[in-house]
Structure 1
Amino acid sequence: MSPRSYDERDVRVRPGRGTRPRTKQRPAHTDAVRGFVVAVDRGRYHVLVEDTPVLAMKARELGRQAVVPGDLVDLVGDTSGVDGSLARIVRIAPRRTVLRRTADDVDPVERVVVANADRLVVVTALAEPEPRTRMIDRAVVAAYDAGMSVLLALTKADLADDGPLRRLYEPTGVDVVVTRRGPDRQILGLDEVRAALDGQVSVLMGHSGVGKSTLVNALVPAADRATGRVNDVTGRGRHTSSSAIALRVPGMSAGTWVIDTPGVRSFGLAHVEPDHVLAAFSDLAAQAEACPRGCTHTADAPDCALDEWVAQAPDETVAAARAARLASFRRLLASRAGTLDADPRP
């Protein structure tokens, strides 16, 4: 038997790694154009470049950075906006404000809701469903922590008195507007809402069924946001907005936008420092200055001035309102510290 002869086919050559050195230097993208993110849909981003709607994807170099409605971003690629075109988001501009929430009060994972908004509009029905002050308090804390102002929009005033909630929140510096249905189903009080939103980017947030989408449709008739009804048994609404979307409000100053968000049933504050929680309760913060040094402001804190503030109320109505505020604040503190069942629902 003759010995086997070998050729190059019998030699397995492992591909080399190449000689080009890796670098951390990224492209400068000096030709990028600036856009405004109006919506996010299953990994695709709807961006407005001047007045042209552009569909974009996120570049790999952004990693897990979240891109949310309200973001100002830089895009490269096809920004023509024609059907079938796709641009790439390569940079997120520094944000003026960032509204965040967590799943609960001990969850370390923050979820960015919107960016660069000036005002949080907490939409609350006065009836059907009943107002939930604990959720309002949570929203106020999150907004102040984000550097945003707060507007409380009370809807369905044709069904219940708006006085109690006005008296509860107006002294704390929260602006309040009220809307109601007229005989012809028109929304009354809309001019007051428009005046409060003029020239700003506002985020609308609220429980399902409070009339948030109805308010958005009144402000932006072309929006055609789906509206739902309140369940007669549970008193809760059905989710009708499935994703956040920024809408330009017609007939108002340039820069007037509303960002409609899905109905919320929880709003965790794990990302908010305890000192910031007190700052959001401005009426309590003023009284807390009289507390002894190191006071925790909890129910078992000795000589806490907040308890004296409730005890010195001029009448029972004021005492009840103060007690409710203090209870809400202490519940937030306990939930934030993990000493209470961390349930961010009202």
Structure 2
Amino acid sequence: MSWLSDDDEDDDEFGYDESDVRIRPNPKGSRPRTKTRPEHEDAVDGRVLSVDRGRYTVMVGEDTPAEHVLTTTRARELRNDAIVTGDRVDVVGDTSGDEGTLARIVRIQPRTTLLRRSADDTDTVERVIVANADQLMIVIAAADPEPRARLVDRYLVAAYDAGIAPLIVVTKTDLADPGPFLANFAALDVPVLRSAPGAWPIDALAPVLAGHTTVAVGHSGVGKSTLVNALVPGTDRAVGVVNAVTGRGRHTSSSTVSLRVPTGGWIIDTPGVRSFGLGHVDIANVLRAFTDLAAVTAECPRGCTHREDAPDCALDEAVADGRLRADRVDDFRRLLASVTA
């Protein structure tokens, strides 16, 4: 008795068996994927100078005869990592810098600082502005547009939160006396440089910038990009005028770019902003922007929130006996309330 079907008998007649059946190969390949990435031991060190639509301008060989600039892209494994101006990175591929070549960023080196802001105070999603800066140059105009103390306070909070030393530069002093405005920050240990009427404080700024990476921030229309052009001749950063109706400056610089100052150091010019959200900031760091108030809060009872309704807050006592100005404490409390909203 045969257990073979008619079809099996036909296959046996022609000499076929199961080993002759063709197995369709895996269309994705049979080699398993691995998360192990190349070490890229031949990578070269570089500084990110600017970012533009997925392309990164990177300087390699800094301070050597071989110094030159590359156009790069990011490696696939960095697709979820933000690469920003000021980053130190490792680059592979064609690093000749010849026209038409494209190198690849494969690593972001550890950052020393990160200057960040959020869209507003209720947004905890941070926007990284620059990396590895150690100074924040806050540019304000004595007039046209009118200086805003609370915006400067926000810059100071962001600087202290990032561990960056702030300084203030005042422009357009021929239009108004900045003294009354600067009184808001008289108790803070923040250097202030003023432009002379019709001139920029280049000679005074040069030794302050030398040896540092300084990021310049400021309200639109204060003359920040004009100051950068004066510090780095030939830069030609776009400049604009203040609207005569609204009194607001127009956004002119549309990108963040790192520039070498001929007298030493780097300056990073950023687009002008009218707001600076602090939703990402640690609340404890807000007080660090008000060092004059911080000394007084050491006398507060344990757990004091330093708000207007805080019982026995030492800030109220200091205002009452004249040690602190009421408007300075009010600015701090309004900023604190805004961040914790």
When normalised by structure 2's length, the TM-score is: 0.89
Using the TM superposition, give the Cα deviation of residue 12 of structure 1 relative to its aligned residue in structure 2, in angstroms: 10
Using the TM superposition, give the Cα deviation of residue 265 of structure 1 relative to its aligned residue in structure 2, in angstroms: 1.6
1:180 maps to a residue whose letter is: A
| CA shift digits 1:284-338 (9 cap, x unpaired) | 1001011111110011111111112222227xxxx6xx22221221122211221
Match of 2:268 among 259, 263, 278: 259
Give yes or no for the alignment of 1:139 onto 2:142.
no
* Aligned 1:283-298 pairs, distance under 5 A: 283-298=292-307
Using the TM superposition, give the Cα deviation of residue 196 of structure 1 relative to its aligned residue in structure 2, in angstroms: 1.7
Match of 2:77 among 36, 61, 81: 61
Q: How many residues align?
A: 319
Match of 2:228 among 193, 212, 216: 216
Over aligned residues, Cα RMSD in angstroms? 2.0
Using the TM superposition, give the Cα deviation of residue 149 of structure 1 relative to its aligned residue in structure 2, in angstroms: 0.1
Higher Cα radius of gyration: 2
Match of 2:176 among 144, 151, 160: 160
| CA shift digits 1:245-282 (9 cap, x unpaired) | 001011x13xx010000001221111111111112210
Aligned residue in 2 for 1:96: 112
1:336 maps to a residue whose letter is: V
Aligned residue in 1 for 2:123: 107
User: Which region of structure 1 is more displaced relative to structure 2, 55-64 or 328-337?
Assistant: 328-337
Give yes or no for the alignment of 1:202 onto 2:214.
yes
Using the TM superposition, give the Cα deviation of residue 211 of structure 1 relative to its aligned residue in structure 2, in angstroms: 0.6
2:120 maps to a residue whose letter is: D
| CA shift digits 1:86-121 (9 cap, x unpaired) | 000000000111101111112121111000101000
1:49 maps to a residue whose letter is: V
Aligned residue in 1 for 2:34: 23
2:256 maps to a residue whose letter is: A
| CA shift digits 1:67-98 (9 cap, x unpaired) | 11111000000111111000000000001111
Aligned residue in 1 for 2:56: 45
Give yes or no for the alignment of 1:176 onto 2:192.
yes
Contact 2:200 2:230 in 1 (8 A): no
Contact 1:156 1:179 in 2 (8 A): yes
Aligned residue in 2 for 1:227: 239
Distance 1:188 1:44, change over 3 A: closer
Ranges in structure 1 where 5+ consecutive residues have no aligned partner: 1-10, 339-346
Give SS of 1:151's match: strand
CA distance in 2: counterparts of 1:100 and 1:60, whole angstroms: 25
Give SS of 1:137's match: helix
Question: Identical aligned pairs, as a percentage?
Answer: 59
| CA shift digits 1:122-163 (9 cap, x unpaired) | 100010000001010000010111110001111111111122
Aligned residue in 2 for 1:34: 45
Using the TM superposition, give the Cα deviation of residue 13 of structure 1 relative to its aligned residue in structure 2, in angstroms: 4.2
Aligned residue in 1 for 2:15: none
User: Which region of structure 1 is more displaced relative to structure 2, 211-220 or 155-164?
Assistant: 155-164
Ranges in structure 2 where 5+ consecutive residues have no aligned partner: 1-21, 62-66
CA distance in 1: counterparts of 2:42 and 2:136, whole angstroms: 34
Give SS of 1:67's match: coil
| CA shift digits 1:45-78 (9 cap, x unpaired) | 0000122010000111012211111110000001
